[in-house]
Amino acid sequence: MSLPANRRAGATGPQRPSAVIGVSLKMYFGYERTLEYCREVATIAFAHPAVQSGDIELFVLPTLPVLPEAARILGTAGAAAGAQDIFWEDEGAFTGEVGGKTVAELGGRYAEVGHAERRRIFGEDDRVIGLKTAAAYRNGLTPVLCVGELQQGSVEEAVTRCTAEIDAALNRAQSLGPAARTIVAYEPQWAIGAPEPATPQYISAVIAGLDAHLRTLPGQADSRVIYGGSAGPGLISQLDPAVAGLFLGRFAHDPRALKTILDEAAERLGLLEPRLLEPVGGRA
């Protein structure tokens, strides 16, 4: 397996995984099914050269009660787990909430913040999302900061809206403590839960804008922008290099589809010959 340019001996610049593939299971699976899923993903990850080499960063965000077991199972296979949400304080009289400190204690490495469903159903706004981003940094968790426009419009409109969401979260977080690496998940709200993702051209153009903006922000050199919203097998190969990877939902429920996506991501990095790819499995 050849190494990508940023991993070769003597390469300059930040050493960062070349692709990021995340899965949020939302509230789709119960305890036992989540465990079974994590075991299957771990088997795939353990056998996958690009995950083992660190060229693909793979994480799963399960329903919270499964987090300790998920972190253990995935951790033995070179993958990781995290939470789909955290509270902005670390401890105290906040009935029903779970803080980033506990998530980290449970083995979580990521904390998703600002998902469209949290914004829409639970009324989270930029202020709350900034506080939660700060809580993630403070507890050594990588925030998976979700941004995305409500309705389909132009690329410029999407970049403007999402840049504002990124800035709102990061500015507030940085006013509270040091920032660190962030994974920005660009998820157009109109493409979440839809039959199809946004078009590859649209995704690539919006993320090129967001990635360029992220590069200008202090402390974000290792940060990456990934795409979510009905993403599945067959998509990543069509996306421009600024798109660092995918944030998957329903179409990763079948572990075989996730394996296909990992192969496609590795192929895109030049780490796997196309002829070695198995036929793309159907969508879950």
Cβ–Cβ under 8 Å, residues 244 and 27: no
Q: Which of 57, 124, 187, 264 is catalytic?
A: 187
Shortest Cβ 209–ligand 13P spacing (Å): 20
Please give the structure tokens belonging to residue 68: 């300790």
Q: Using the minimum distance from each CB to ligand 13P, give the nearer residue, 209 or 228.
A: 228
Strands annotated E in the chain: 19-24, 56-61, 80-83, 110-113, 142-147, 183-186, 224-228, 245-248
Residue nearest to ligand 13P (CB): 249
- By 3-state DSSP, what share of the chain in percent is helix, strand and coil, each rounded to 5? 45, 15, 40
250 near ligand 13P, judged by CB under 6 A? yes
24 near ligand 13P, judged by CB under 6 A? yes
Q: Using the minimum distance from each CB to ligand 13P, give the nearer residue, 49 or 193.
A: 193
Q: Using the minimum distance from each CB to ligand 13P, give the nearer residue, 231 or 271.
A: 231
How far CA 95 is from CA of 87, 92, 103, 138, 201, in Å, comes to: 11, 9, 16, 21, 44
State how far the Cα of 16 lies from the Cα of 18, in Å rounded to an integer.
Answer: 6
Does residue 48 carry a catalytic annotation? no
Binding mask 29-68 for ligand 13P (x = CB under 6 A): ----------------------------------------
| Binding segment (CB under 6 A) for ligand 13P, from list 2-10, 120-128, 208-216, 228-236 | 228-236
227 near ligand 13P, judged by CB under 6 A? no
State how far the Cα of 28 lies from the Cα of 65, in Å rounded to an integer.
Answer: 13
Binding mask 251-270 for ligand 13P (x = CB under 6 A): x-------------------
- Tell me how many helices (H) and strands (E) the chain has: 9, 8
Shortest Cβ 183–ligand 13P spacing (Å): 12
Amino acid in position 204: S
Residues in 229-248 at the binding interface with ligand 13P, rule: CB under 6 A: 229-231, 247-248
Q: Which of 48, 57, 69, 115 is catalytic?
A: 115
Cβ–Cβ under 8 Å, residues 38 and 62: yes
| Binding segment (CB under 6 A) for ligand 13P, from list 4-12, 39-47, 133-141, 186-194 | 186-194
Shortest Cβ 37–ligand 13P spacing (Å): 15
Cβ–Cβ under 8 Å, residues 192 and 249: yes
State how far the Cα of 271 lies from the Cα of 277, in Å rounded to an integer.
Answer: 12
Does residue 253 carry a catalytic annotation? no
Q: Using the minimum distance from each CB to ligand 13P, give the nearer residue, 193 or 241.
A: 193
Q: Pick the closest to residue 144 from 251, 24, 254, 17 (CA basis).
A: 24
State how far the Cα of 16 lies from the Cα of 176, in Å rounded to an integer.
Answer: 26
Among 14, 153, 193, 274, binds ligand 13P (CB under 6 A): 193
Q: Using the minimum distance from each CB to ligand 13P, give the nearer residue, 84 or 138.
A: 84
The catalytic site residues sit at 115, 187
Give contact residues for ligand 13P (rule: CB under 6 A).
Answer: 24, 115, 187, 192-193, 228-231, 247-251
